[in-house]
Amino acid sequence: MIKGFIFDLDGVITDTAELHYEAWKKLSDEMSWDFDRELNEKLRGISRMDSIKVIMDHNKVTLEEQTVIDLATKKNDLYVASLDHMTPEDYLPGAKELLTHLRTEGFSVALGSASKNALKVLQQLNAMPYFDVIGDGNSVTKSKPEPDIFLYAAEKLRLPPNNCIVVEDAEKGIDAAKAGGFHSVGIGPEDRVGHADLRFDTMKEATLFEVKSHFADLF
Ligand code: G16
Ligand code: MG
């Protein structure tokens, strides 16, 4: 029986990928590092420190750990400042409708995000009332593709993974859901989330009706 849903944040509820891109791009320009949208795609769903390491590897750069932390902090300050402009208009199309529908039908709902800024994003969107549990980048140490963040959210919801559907836009996010024994819904192209149990191109198509139709024997 499906009793709960666990949502990723960036790329599922709202499109912060563009804001992350702009902040990493600004830092990279200052450091004379190569950084483009293709590389930004590789940062989808992974933690801040893992992200800067991907960018440095790409540029064949090695720096002292403290310098890396300082640069990641600089990027984060830029990113957090850009969140001030986020408003309740900034849900991805379909996301608010699905969250509202889950509330009216009485499902348990959790957030399972890699971001340490998830609370600020939810507050900017006025999205807190849609969630029973918040799992974010501060809740666990091992990030996706490890299943820890989703296992944390499920435990707080008091549900076994088998009773939950994870909604994710990142390849590593679907890997994490599968590793934890969750049912999964992928948002995005086949080459990114084609390994999910069910896939939609965008959140607009991800209605509760469609999800229930696919997982009919589980509802
Ligand atoms: C998000 C983004 C990632 C970002 C990570 C950490 O994960 O997709 O690109 O690197 O959060 O964010 P922060 O620097 O704010 O802690 P998710 O899991 O919400 O997609
Ligand atoms: Mg995401």
CATH fold, domain 16-85, is DNA polymerase; domain 1 (1.10.150)
pLDDT score, position 17: 87
DSSP readout, 86-129? --TT-BPTTHHHHHHHHHHTT-EEEEE-S-TTHHHHHHHHT-GG
Domain ranges of the chain: 4-15+89-218, 16-85
Q: Which residue owns the Cα nearest ligand 1 atom 2?
A: 45
pLDDT of the chain, 219 residues: tens digit per residue? 999 999 999 999 999 989 999 999 999 999 999 999 999 999 988 999 999 999 999 999 999 999 999 999 999 999 999 999 999 999 999 999 999 999 999 999 999 999 999 999 999 999 999 999 999 999 999 999 999 999 999 999 999 999 999 999 999 999 999 999 999 999 999 999 999 999 999 999 999 999 999 999 999
- Architecture, CATH, for domain 4-15+89-218: 3-Layer(aba) Sandwich (3.40)
Phi/psi-derived region of residue 168, left when phi > 0, alpha when psi is between -120 and 50, beta in every other case:
beta
Q: Is 10 in the pocket of ligand 1 (CB under 6 A)?
A: yes
- Strand (E) or helix (H) holding 65: helix 65-83
Catalytic residue among 8, 136, 148, 175, which? 8
SS3 track for 19-53: HHHHHHHHHHHHHCCCCCHHHHHCCCCCCHHHHHH
Q: What is the pTM of this model?
A: 0.94
C-alpha dist (Å) from residue 79 to 88, 90, 133, 205: 18, 16, 24, 29
**Is 0.85 exceeded by the ipTM?**
yes
Q: Considering just the CA atoms, what is the radius of gyration of the chain in Å?
A: 17
Q: Is 122 in the pocket of ligand 1 (CB under 6 A)?
A: no
pLDDT score, position 45: 87
Measured between alpha carbons, how far is 217 from 174 in angstroms, rounded to an integer?
Answer: 21
For this structure, is 8 an active site residue? yes
